[in-house]
Structure 1
C-alpha cells in the first residue's frame, strides 16, 4: 500500500474523474517547489512534490489523489490502482442504558444489522458472551465470568437525539429445558471441556460448568425469506439460526464437532469443513451476512486458522465462506488477505483481524478490518469493499498440509503460483483519519446503499476507568450508492 506510481498531471486528472484543477503553466524551468495545486479553487498540498522532467510534470498517484480527498488502493494481484471518494461523518450517538451490575456496564455493539422496511434509525445488535476477563493462573489462561447468569441477547435499538436507546431485548433460548440453567435460557459459557477456554467465577475460586448451548455472539444477519436471524458464534465456530423471538433452531458447525458435545435441543449441521475446528481460541466466526434476496450467506473468521498449528497465527490469509441458504451447504470459500503489518509502525500481523461484514450483493461485501489498538495508537481501522466476481473459489483445497502448504502457510508468491486470486479490496472508510477512539469497532451496517453505520463493542466496561458507558454509534454518508 506504500508503493508509489508516477503519472503526468493530465493523466492524473483523467484518473480522478476531472474533479480537480491542477495549474502548472510554464512547467519548463519551473522547480517543483514553485508549483501550486488547487482542488475546486482550494489550495491542496500533495504529500510528495511533483517532478519536472523535460517540461512535463510528474506526480505520484497516491500523493495527488489523497490531496484531492480520495482513498488509494493498490492490488498487487491485478496490478490495479483504485481511487475512492471519502465519506462524510454525519452523526454520533451514545448508548444510554443502566449498568448491569456494579462495575459492569451494559454492552451492545459486537454486531449490527438493519432490516429492510424498518425506519433508517432502527437497528438490531448483540453483545457477545457477557462480561468476562482473561487471567493467567499457574501459567495457564483462564476465562472469568462475573455474571454467570448473563443470557446472550439480541437488542433492538433506535438512534434518537444523539443517543442509542434500547427498544427491545430478545434473550436467546432453546426449545426445551437447558440442563445447566434449569429453564429455556442459555449462557455465554463455552461448550467443550478440554478444547475451549476454562471458565471460572470472578473470584477464581470455582471452575464453572460448560454449556453445550452457550454462545459467544459476534455477528448478526437477517434473512428476509423466512424472517429469521443468523448469528456467528466464536465458540464453534458456528452459525446459529434463530427465530425472531430468540429461539435457537439449528447450528452449522465443523465436521466432527457434534461428537464432542451433547446438545439434542439444537440440531447441529456439520457442513463447515473440518479444518474450521483448528480455530484459535477466542478468534472464531466473527462476521456473518446474507444477500438481500436471501439466497446466500457469508461467514468470515476473525483470524487465521491454526492450520496446521500456532505457527500460522501471523498469516495474512483469513477464510471467507459462502453458503447456499436453501441447502445450508457451503458453495464457495475465498481467501481474504488482511493488510500487511509491515506497512505500519509496530503492528503484529496476528493483531489484524476481521470484525464484521455486510453483504451488498452476491459479489460485493463490506469488510471491517482493524488492529488491536485504541485512540492515538490505532493504525488500522478500515472498512473495505471487496469484489468476489473473479476471486478464486478454494473450497475443499489447501486444508491439509500433507498435500503441500495449507492456505494459512502460503506466501503471496505461493498464492500466485497456485493461481489463487483473493477478492479485490477498495477502501470505503478509514476511521483512523477520523480519530476514532475505540479499539473494537465490531458492528457494521449499510442503509439505502449510502449510509454507513458503525458501532463499537465496549466489552461491558470490564477493566474500564471511564464513567461513561463507552459505546458509541457513528454514521457516515457515502458519496456514491452501493447496490
Structure 2
C-alpha cells in the first residue's frame, strides 16, 4: 500500500518450531522468538542482520488460563509482572538472518551461554531493596526460583569485533557477548552485584546505581552502537520508578544514556519525551491509554549522536529522529540516585522545560494499517528504507513473526558520510 509517507512491503518469513506442549486447554506450540530487537554490523555480508529474542516462551496469567486451561496459575493473577514460563530452559538467544528480495531466512541461532557452556535461562534474577524480581510461574502453579544467570534480553547491538552488546530488563543490565554467544561479562547497577552471586559469568557493577530503579518489567530495552564500538546508546523502556511507582506512572520522559564502552561511564544523559497518550489512535480505539502504557523499544544510530527511536503503545508505533546535542544534556547530579526531586518527579510535574529532546516524526503506523501491532525491532536498510519486525512472544498466543520493508518518501536525516554505512 502506498500513502503520502511510505510504501510498505510485507516480507516472507517462516517461524522455526521449537516444541509443542500438551496442556489442559489444548496444545501450546512454541516457535523461535526473534522480534525483541534487530541490529546490523557494517562489516557483515550484504543482507545479513541480527535479532534477539527475549527471556523465552512466557504467558501472562489471563491468557494462560483462558487459552490453555491452566487454572492452577489463576491464584497469581494479582502478582505484578507475573509470567507463566512453560519451558524456562528455552532462554535468550541471538539469531542471524538474511534478507534476499522479499524473503527473510533464519540462518542460525546462538543461545547465550555462560562460562560453563550451559545456556542461560530466562528466569528472573533475585530481587533486592530497589530491584524487584518478577514472579515466574511453572505450569503446576508453583513459583520458580530466581536464577542469578537469568536474563530477559530485549535489545541488541552488533559490535565491530564480531561480538554483541545485549540489553536486559531484569537487572537491568548489559551483556557483553562474544561472536559465538558466550557471555563475557554482565554489567549491572552499582551496589547490586551481590544479587548475581553464583552467576555463570563475570558480573561488574559498571552501571549507575540509579538503573536499579527501573519499573518492574520495564528495564533496558533498546541499544545502538557507534561503528567503531566506542559509544553505546541505551534507552530504558519507560520512566524509572524513582523514587516510587507513582513517579513512573505519571512521568512523561524516558532516559537515554550515551556510554563509554570501555568503562561503562555515562558521558551524557538525555530525556526523550513521549507523545500524548491520546495520539496513539489504534491503541485508544482498543481502550484507555495512560502515560505508563507508552514505551521506547528500539534505537538506530543514523549519525554521531543522531538516533532513530521506536516509540510505541501496543497497536500504534511511531518513529522519531532526534539529535543528542549538549544543550539537552541533563546535569550530572540527575544521575545520582539520591538527588531529589528526581527526573521522573520533574517530568510528572511538568517541570522539564526545554531540557527534553526535540523530535522529528518519520513514520506513524496509524497511517499504515497493513503494519501490525507489537513492533519492537528496527534496522535501516538504505537512506530511505527501513525494516520492521513484531515480537511474536515465541508463538505462545498464536502470533507469527512478521517483517515489513518500508520505503519512505524522503531520505532519513543523517549526514553525508554516514549515508555510506547503509
Give the Cα–Cα distance (whole angstroms) in 2 for the partners of residues 471 and 265 of structure 1.
Answer: 31
Give the Cα–Cα distance (whole angstroms) in 1 for the partners of residues 350 and 365 of structure 2.
Answer: 31
Give the Cα–Cα distance (whole angstroms) in 2 for the partners of residues 211 and 353 of structure 1.
Answer: 26
Shift of 1:359: 1.3
**Correspondence for 2:311:** 369
TM-score by length of 1: 0.73
Shift of 1:217: 0.9
Shift of 1:161: 5.9
What does the per-residue CA deviation read over 1:331-390, in whole Å, with 9 as the maximum and x for residues that have no partner? 111111111124454421111100111112222001000012x3xxxxx31111111124
**Correspondence for 1:97:** 15
Aligned partner (choices 296, 300, 304) of residue 354 of structure 1: 296
What does the per-residue CA deviation read over 1:269-302, in whole Å, with 9 as the maximum and x for residues that have no partner? 2232211111111111000110123221011000
Give the Cα–Cα distance (whole angstroms) in 1 for the partners of residues 189 and 394 of structure 2.
Answer: 30
Give the gaps of 5 or more residues in structure 2.
Answer: 21-27, 62-73
**Correspondence for 1:88:** 7
**Correspondence for 2:386:** 452
**Correspondence for 2:257:** 321
What does the per-residue CA deviation read over 1:61-100, in whole Å, with 9 as the maximum and x for residues that have no partner? xxxxxxx94xxxxxxxxxxxxxxxx3332x3224313422
Task: Mark the CA change 1:361 to 1:437 in structure 2 (over 3 Å): closer, same or farther.
Answer: closer
Give the Cα–Cα distance (whole angstroms) in 1 for the partners of residues 17 and 199 of structure 2.
Answer: 35
CA contact (8 A) 1:238 1:252 kept: yes
Aligned partner (choices 424, 438, 446) of residue 358 of structure 2: 424
CA contact (8 A) 2:125 2:195 kept: no
Deviates most, 194-203 or 274-283: 194-203
**Correspondence for 1:55:** none
**Correspondence for 1:192:** 126
What does the per-residue CA deviation read over 1:101-138, in whole Å, with 9 as the maximum and x for residues that have no partner? 22223221111112213344321101101111222525
The alignment of Structure 1 onto Structure 2 pairs a total of residues equal to: 378
* 1:266 counterpart = 2:204: no
Aligned partner (choices 385, 395, 402) of residue 461 of structure 1: 395
**Correspondence for 1:307:** 242
CA contact (8 A) 2:207 2:264 kept: no
Aligned partner (choices 155, 159, 179) of residue 99 of structure 2: 159
Shift of 1:441: 0.5
Task: Mark the CA change 1:109 to 1:413 in structure 2 (over 3 Å): closer, same or farther.
Answer: closer
* 1:228 counterpart = 2:163: yes
Give the Cα–Cα distance (whole angstroms) in 1 for the partners of residues 180 and 153 of structure 2.
Answer: 16
Looking at secondary structure, tell me which structure has more helix per residue: 2
**Correspondence for 1:480:** 411
Give the Cα–Cα distance (whole angstroms) in 2 for the partners of residues 88 and 367 of structure 1.
Answer: 20
Aligned partner (choices 75, 92, 96) of residue 137 of structure 1: 75
Give the gaps of 5 or more residues in structure 1.
Answer: 1-67, 70-85, 177-182, 375-379
TM-score by length of 2: 0.83
Give the Cα–Cα distance (whole angstroms) in 2 for the partners of residues 428 and 253 of structure 1.
Answer: 33
Shift of 1:436: 4.3
What does the per-residue CA deviation read over 1:293-347, in whole Å, with 9 as the maximum and x for residues that have no partner? 3221011000110011111223111110111123332111111111112445442
Alignment partner of 2:351: what SS? Answer: helix
Shift of 1:430: 1.4
**Correspondence for 1:146:** 86
CA contact (8 A) 1:390 1:421 kept: no
Task: Mark the CA change 1:281 to 1:403 in structure 2 (over 3 Å): closer, same or farther.
Answer: closer
Shift of 1:395: 5.4
* 1:441 counterpart = 2:385: no
**Correspondence for 1:398:** 334
Alignment partner of 1:259: what SS? Answer: helix
Alignment partner of 1:410: what SS? Answer: helix
Give the Cα–Cα distance (whole angstroms) in 2 for the partners of residues 307 and 193 of structure 1.
Answer: 16
Task: Mark the CA change 1:397 to 1:96 in structure 2 (over 3 Å): closer, same or farther.
Answer: same
CA contact (8 A) 1:391 1:423 kept: no
**Correspondence for 1:203:** 140
Aligned partner (choices 154, 169, 187) of residue 109 of structure 2: 169
Comparing both chains, which one has the higher relative contact order based on Cα–Cα distances under 8 Å and sequence gaps of 6 or more? 2
CA contact (8 A) 1:190 1:196 kept: yes
Give the Cα–Cα distance (whole angstroms) in 1 for the partners of residues 7 and 101 of structure 2.
Answer: 19
CA contact (8 A) 2:206 2:263 kept: no
Give the Cα–Cα distance (whole angstroms) in 1 for the partners of residues 261 and 16 of structure 2.
Answer: 38
Shift of 1:392: 2.3
